[in-house]
Structure 1
Amino acid sequence: MKGWLAWDSLSGEDGRMKQDLDKLEQLRSLFGEMERSLIAYSGGIDSTLVAKVAFDVLGDRALAVTAVSPSLLPEDLEEACIQSAEIGIAHELVHTHELENPDYASNPINRCYFCKSELHDTLKPLALKRGYPYVVDGVNADDLRDYRPGIQAAKERGARSPLAEIGITKLEVRQIAKHLDLSCWDKPAQPCLSSRFPYGEAITLAKLHRVGRAEAYLRKLGLKTLRVRSEGDTARIELPAEQIKEFVLTMDLPLLVEKLQSFGFVYVTLDLEGFRSGKLNQGLQLATVGDLPSV
């Protein structure tokens, strides 16, 4: 009977916290088995947690490396630098050139495969040169259940995904990050700017810049979770559904349109369905995705 009572006392929030802490210890143990590791560090919550735990365990034998390219917002790069300094981990920047690859720039449905190929083809030689036997990323357990062709590219190049290996989900990442007092624990997900374009529409430097400027402008207005989807000359703003009414009633819409047009858009629209991560994938036919080549 006492055993049942003890189990019941760990139900709910306490039980979830114990599970989170157990997984945190597993994550620490995993890094304890690594002599040195190089972290593919985007500055997002997932890779920040990985960098934090890697540094706590390995100290100066852990290195965070951020890939700089036109698809990375300058604001995100700045945050990555700030967060790595808060953690204390050594942090370096490298430049990647995925936009020069026609297989990437043409924006096929497996575009992310070519992006991660470029990333890990840059990081792996760097790791070997510096004496890091492992390159690790921030892929979590939920990512494995989504359409993520970039994961295959990373695996082909020997990268490891500690969060996914242990089975840490997106929610658990945030809960563990909060427990560790990481300032970015509630930071909205921010995939690369190339994810703002419908598959099949070519990605150019100018298009990336105008999307980036539009999103940066909206964030300065106090909006936190958003996307500016780009299709041809049209900007489609996505906000959480519950924020749409207030946005329409309080925003100076003519000024907003004028501003985004100054960035290069011709038309400015608002998505009435509201924000949903990965929305552009809804246009993919499941059969088509299932028939994609392994690359």
Structure 2
Amino acid sequence: MTENRKKVRELLADITRKDVCIAFSGGVDSSLLLKLALAEAKRHDTTVYAVTFDTQLHPSCDIQIARAVAGEMGARHQVIEVDELANPAILKNPVDRCYLCKKELFARLLEFADSKNIRTVLEGTNRDDDFQYRPGIRAVEELGVLSPLRVCGLSKREIRTWAKELGIAVADRPSTPCMATRLPYGTVITAEILKRIESGEEFLKTFGFQNVRLRVHGDIARVELDRGAFIEAVDRSEEILTELKKLGFTYVTLDLEGFRSGSMDKNRNSSDGASSCPPSELLRKKL
């Protein structure tokens, strides 16, 4: 067992002496965290609640996947509906939108935890997120939510490897960040444009493309795919053009830089949301 894995198991063995809640998206990070926490909680005869947010900013398929994975693991699964677009500040899609969203979502999760007399809430941020623009981390820290994978130094690659070894169904599932990341900062978010983005990405995935992002710039749809998928995309260009134009896009482009996480962050002028506290220090303060 690697040192990082040992640290995570030891930390969760201590945390699960009492009931806990986990923010559970159904992605590989939170799925690994849930699997490990359930194993440790079984030793203590405590309860782990897997809590999934149902929001307009995430594809509807996320709820189905989360339910399936939680069911396979035998976890107690709870879905909380949150309408982030009812918040005028989030609606404007500011540079710190992720901070505002996380603050609202985790405040609701803490309310749920309190209703169950639970004092410890966990989430699945990993160590790699410290090297990208992740303003949501600050909200997590401010609310006292713990990030065991990040604290113990696990990278995304380590998490996927471990998840495969444990037979977790979503070990290879691509990351699915909120759909507001497909819009430039300052672009007003509407339910209509989110639906168009979701429909467009689901269509593109029918060709077998793994990492898909449909970035929207007004009436332009900028398609990001892994570079290895370019030839297939060009060969199917007529089908892609037809379908995306049906969704209301006037121009459809294939981004030659290929898929990359956070491409809308490239020209941002603010670093608001960065954490200034080392993860280990945050854990020490909490515990």
TM-score by length of 1: 0.87
The 10-residue stretch of structure 1 (73-82 or 210-219) with the greater mean CA deviation from structure 2: 73-82
Aligned to 1:41: 24
Aligned to 1:5: none
User: C-alpha deviations, 1:241-288, integer Å up to 9, x for none?
Assistant: 122123212x1x233222112223222111111111111111124xx3
Aligned to 1:53: 36
Give the conservation status (yes or no) of the 8 Å contact 2:134–2:274. Answer: no
Aligned residues: 271
Give the Å deviation of 1:115. 0.6
Q: CA RMSD in A?
A: 1.8
Aligned to 1:11: none
Q: Which runs of 5+ in 1 are unaligned?
A: 1-17
Give the Å deviation of 1:23. 2.5
Counterparts of 1:62 and 1:256, CA distance in 2: 43
2:41 maps to 1:65: no
Q: More helix by proportion, 1 or 2?
A: 1
The 10-residue stretch of structure 1 (255-264 or 89-98) with the greater mean CA deviation from structure 2: 255-264
Give the Å deviation of 1:120. 0.8
Matching residue's letter, 1:218: L
User: C-alpha deviations, 1:90-133, integer Å up to 9, x for none?
Assistant: 11100112111121111111110111011111000110111221
What is the correspondence of 1:1-295 to structure 2 with a 5 Å cutoff?
A: 18-19=1-2, 22-34=3-15, 35-59=18-42, 61-249=47-235, 251=236, 253-285=237-269, 288-289=270-271
Q: Which runs of 5+ in 2 are unaligned?
A: 277-287
Counterparts of 1:23 and 1:194, CA distance in 2: 33
Counterparts of 1:292 and 1:37, CA distance in 2: 26
Give the conservation status (yes or no) of the 8 Å contact 1:98–1:114. Answer: no
Give the Å deviation of 1:293. 11
TM-score by length of 2: 0.89
Give the Å deviation of 1:291. 9.6
- Percent identical pairs in the alignment equals 37
Give the conservation status (yes or no) of the 8 Å contact 2:23–2:50. Answer: yes
Distance 1:293-1:90 versus aligned 2 partners, 3 A rule: closer
- Describe the SS at the equivalent of 1:235: strand
Runs of 4+, deviation exceeding 6 Å: 290-294
